[in-house]
Amino acid sequence: MDGSTHATWVEVDLDAITGNVAAVLRELRRGRGGAAPAVMAVVKADGYGHGAVPVARAALAGGASWLGVARAQEALELREAGLRAPVLLLGHVPADSITELVAAGVSLTAWSAGQAAAIGCAAGRAGAAGAGPARVHLKVDTGMGRIGCRPDEALDLARTVAEADGVELEGLFTHLACADTPDRGATGDQLTAFAGVVTQLASAGLRPPLVHAANSAGTFTVAVRPGHPEGGYDLVRFGIAMYGLSPGAQVPLPRDITSALAWKSVLAQVKQVPPGRGISYGHTYTTTRSERIGTVPVGYADGWRRGAANEVLVGGRRVPVVGRVCMDQCMVNLDAVPQARVGDEVVLVGDQAAAGGGGQRISADDVAQRWGTIGYEVVCGIGRRVPRRYTTADRR
Ligand SMILES: *Cc1c(COP(=O)(O)O)cnc(C)c1O
């Protein structure tokens, strides 16, 4: 792809998203003897930086039947784009947007009686305006310490929701805190507490149609494993692994999951710099010999972190970023690739072939390791001004 029209850009392979959803469905069917739970494609934070709307479409094409978001605006953006699939707002529901969300057919999360009442009022207004029922998923905190009611509050809340006019108790869910760690103790405790709530609601005739617990890590460590089908329940909330990234160093992804995102730039300038010259702000790097220095138009305003050791691919080789990353640019040492020229592609995340064969790959997880963080933060942090380009087999 010709990169000359932009300084830095992201390429998203939508076929990878579609394929990753299809792959997890296959894996779930295998683990559960044929009957797979539904897959909710989690597209919050603009699809983890990949672009929520195109990712949502690609995920639905792969067999996902739900979409999950974290903000009211994210849910409405999907509706404005014409996506009609069920959408669950997984977290905080701003009081003043409930009516609009209900009218847009967005399912809401609730964990307190106050919220249930507010949703009930909004349902009345939406119903009067001809909208369907307000759909609620009750969130139980079984050990994440984040949002959710206590397990012993769930039954009363479920009753409140189920009895409110124009409100439907559609789901019951919890979130696993430690599904990406090898220690199954905490996850087991959470699933046991959650199973207790499910049983209690069922005995009261209130088991909602959609019970769910697993995120990506839970999907691979619990939901697909024979003997642990309870982790899958009726639906899995599939986020990071849909983008082809691992939920944690301890959770190997199935081989047919592939990463969807590449982050690229170009060499804006290449020059020979004599020994003893400082490079970039503060001169934290000084050339020790005559060095070929390239300038790359990507900086911390694009999400390319300043305070970290960085490397990129040029000519299919790894080359180091030298000196401080600026807001819009950074410099690289090109001594390993003497053939590099202005206009050549620079890969920050992704694959690059070498001229004589072979090549290298830098994954978002590799970048995360250098930055002391997780792949989630790398892809979510790619700036808004970095254009996203989409590829599918149709257009290739
Ligand atoms: C973000 C989120 C997910 C997806 O998590 P991944 O680790 O990306 O799979 C699932 N459930 C909830 C409640 C979330 O907030």
Strand pairing report for 8-13 and 261-266: antiparallel
Which residue's alpha carbon is at the smallest distance from atom 15 of ligand 1? 90
Q: Is 2 exposed, middle or buried (0-12, 13-18, 19+ CB in 10 A)?
A: exposed
Contacts with 265 (C-beta within 8 Å, 6 or more apart), sequence order: 3, 7, 8, 9, 296, 297, 298, 312, 345, 346, 348
247 lines ligand 1 (CB under 6 A): yes
Kindly indicate the confidence band of residue 214, based on its pLDDT and cuts at 50, 70 and 90: very high
**Residue 326 pLDDT exceeds 70:** yes
d(CA 79, CA 101): 10
Average pLDDT in the 358-370 region?
94
**CB contact at 8 A, 23 and 224:** no
Taking the centre of ligand 1 as the mean of its atom positions, its distance from the CA of residue 238, in whole angstroms, is: 7
Q: 60-102 pLDDT, tens per residue?
A: 999 999 999 999 999 999 999 999 999 999 999 998 999 999 9
43 lines ligand 1 (CB under 6 A): no
Taking the centre of ligand 1 as the mean of its atom positions, its distance from the CA of residue 239, in whole angstroms, is: 6
The residue type found at 222 is V
d(CA 396, CA 392): 6
90 lines ligand 1 (CB under 6 A): yes
**Residue 176 pLDDT exceeds 80:** yes
375 lines ligand 1 (CB under 6 A): no
Give the CA distances from residue 354 to residues 88, 313, 345, 348, 360, in Å, rounded to whole numbers and listed in that order: 44, 10, 11, 15, 8
**Residue 2 pLDDT exceeds 60:** no
137 lines ligand 1 (CB under 6 A): no
Tell me which residue of 94, 37, 34 sits closest to 70, measured CA to CA.
Answer: 94
Ligand 1 atom with the smallest distance to the CA of 216 is: 9
**Residue 8 pLDDT exceeds 80:** yes
Taking the centre of ligand 1 as the mean of its atom positions, its distance from the CA of residue 144, in whole angstroms, is: 12
| C-alpha dihedral sign at 21, 374, 185, 69 | negative
Q: What pLDDT, on a 0 to 100 scale, did the predictor assign at position 127?
A: 77
Taking the centre of ligand 1 as the mean of its atom positions, its distance from the CA of residue 57, in whole angstroms, is: 18
**CB contact at 8 A, 138 and 147:** no
Ligand 1 atom with the smallest distance to the CA of 215 is: 9
Q: Give the residue, out of 237, 253, 376, with the most ligand 1 atoms within 8 A of its beta carbon, to mutate for a pocket test.
A: 237
Which residue's alpha carbon is at the smallest distance from atom 14 of ligand 1? 90
Taking the centre of ligand 1 as the mean of its atom positions, its distance from the CA of residue 45, in whole angstroms, is: 11
Q: What are 332's strand-pairing partners?
A: 294, 321
Q: 216-265 pLDDT, tens per residue?
A: 999 988 877 655 556 679 999 999 999 999 999 888 898 999 999 999 99
240 lines ligand 1 (CB under 6 A): yes
Contacts with 145 (C-beta within 8 Å, 6 or more apart), sequence order: 177
d(CA 75, CA 42): 11
Cα-only R_g, the chain: 24
Strand pairing report for 87-89 and 106-110: parallel
Tell me which residue of 235, 185, 241, 192 sits closest to 217, measured CA to CA.
Answer: 241
Q: How far is the first Cα of the chain from the last one, in angstroms, to the nearest whole number?
A: 10
212 lines ligand 1 (CB under 6 A): no
**CB contact at 8 A, 79 and 126:** no
Q: 277-313 pLDDT, tens per residue?
A: 999 999 999 999 999 999 999 999 999 999 778 999 9
305 lines ligand 1 (CB under 6 A): no
Which residue's alpha carbon is at the smallest distance from atom 3 of ligand 1? 215
Ligand 1 atom with the smallest distance to the CA of 219 is: 9
223 lines ligand 1 (CB under 6 A): no
244 lines ligand 1 (CB under 6 A): no
d(CA 159, CA 383): 44
Ligand 1 atom with the smallest distance to the CA of 376 is: 8
Taking the centre of ligand 1 as the mean of its atom positions, its distance from the CA of residue 289, in whole angstroms, is: 49
237 lines ligand 1 (CB under 6 A): yes
Residues forming the active site: 44, 281
How would you label 199-234 residue by residue, b for 16+ Cβ within 10 Å and e otherwise? ebbeeeebbbebbbbbbbbbbbbbbbeeebbbbbbe
DSSP of 8-49, one letter per residue?
A: EEEEEEHHHHHHHHHHHHHHHHHHTTT-PPEEEEE-HHHHHT
The pTM of this model reads 0.95
Q: Is 334 exposed, middle or buried (0-12, 13-18, 19+ CB in 10 A)?
A: buried
State both tokens at 145.
């310490």
Tell me which residue of 361, 310, 315 sits closest to 332, measured CA to CA.
Answer: 310
**Residue 3 pLDDT exceeds 70:** no
- Residue carrying structure tokens 């070498």: 354
Averaged pLDDT of the chain = 93
- Residue carrying structure tokens 């920050």: 348
Strand pairing report for 291-296 and 330-333: antiparallel
Q: Give the residue, out of 42, 44, 365, 380, with the most ligand 1 atoms within 8 A of its beta carbon, to mutate for a pocket test.
A: 42
Contacts with 61 (C-beta within 8 Å, 6 or more apart), sequence order: 18
Taking the centre of ligand 1 as the mean of its atom positions, its distance from the CA of residue 365, in whole angstroms, is: 17
Taking the centre of ligand 1 as the mean of its atom positions, its distance from the CA of residue 346, in whole angstroms, is: 31
